Amino acid sequence: MSRNNPDLEDLLPLTPAVFHILLALADGDRHGYAIMQEVTQSTGGQIKMGPGTLYGTIKRLLEAKLVEESDERPDPALDDERRRYYQLTGLGRSVVKAEAERLAALVKLAKGKRVIGGTANFAGGLNA
C-alpha cells in the first residue's frame, strides 16, 4: 500500500546511512552515540559513521519529519542530560517499512533469478 503513496515514493530509495539510522530507531528512542553503536553492531562494523555523517543525516531526517526529538528522558542518574534523544515519527516508520519492503522485493527477485538463496550459476557464484 505504501508503494502507492506519492510522498513515500519521493523519499525512496533511502541511502544506507539513512536506512540504518531509521532501523536503529525502529525499536526505541536513542541518542546519537547509541544510534552509531547500533548501526556498527547491526552491520558487523561494515558501516561506521563519523559525527559529521551521523548528525548531518539526523538533521535531514528532522527536516523531512522522519524523526523527531524525544521528550522522554531516561533516569538522569543513568544518562548524561546533555544527550539528545531521537525517535521515529509515523512517517519515518512508514518510510523505513516501505524501504524494507522494497529491499525484500529485490531480494525475492534475486532469489527468483537464483542469484542468491541457492545454487547460483553466475561467475563467482554464491552458496547461501
Partner 1 sequence: MPERTTSKGVERSCALYLRLLTLYPKSHRKEYGNAMLQLFRDQYLDAWAASRTRGVIAFWLHVLPDLLKTSILEHLSNLNRRKSMLKLLRPQFTPLPVFFKVFAAVFLLAVLTSVVIAFLIPESFRSTAQIIVEEKQPGSQQAQSDFIDPYFLQTEFEVIESRVVLSKAVAALKLCDVWGKKFNNGAPLSSDWAETILRRNLELRPMRNTRVIEISAFSDSPDEAAKLANGVVEAYRIYKAEEARANKDALPMKSMVSIIQPAIPETHPARPNKALIVNLGVVAGILFGLIAGGMAAGFVNANPAGATRESPLDSQRILPEKRRTNLAVWIVGSLWVSLAAPFTVLILLQLYVSLSEMSDSERWPKDAVLMVLLGFAGAFMSLAGISLLREKLWARIYVGIAPLALSLLLLSSNPLYFPFLPGPFRWGIIAFGVLTAALMANPFMPCIPTTNPPPKRGLRRCWRN
Write out the residues near partner 1 by the rule CB under 8 A: 32-33, 36, 48-56, 58-60, 80, 82-84
Q: Which three cell numbers stand for residue 108?
A: 525475492
Cβ-count burial 38-66 (b if 16+ within 10 Å, e if not): bbbeeeeeeeebeeeebeebbeebeeeeb
* Residue closer to partner 1, measured from CB, 62 or 103: 62
- In a 3-state reduction of DSSP, which class is residue 103? helix
**Do the beta carbons of residue 116 and residue 128 sit within 8 Å?**
yes
CB nearer partner 1, residue 23 or residue 49: 49
Minimum CB–partner distance for residue 107 and partner 1 (Å) = 30
CB of 99: closest distance to partner 1 in angstroms? 21
Measured from the CB atom, the residue of 3 and 48 that comes closer to partner 1 is 48
* CA dist., res. 97 & res. 12, Å (int): 11
Q: How far is CA 67 from CA 72, 83, 99, 121, in A?
A: 14, 16, 15, 42
Which residue number, 82 or 123, has a Cβ lying nearer to partner 1? 82
How near is the Cβ of 66 to partner 1 at its closest, in Å? Answer: 16
CB of 98 vs partner 1, minimal distance in Å:
21
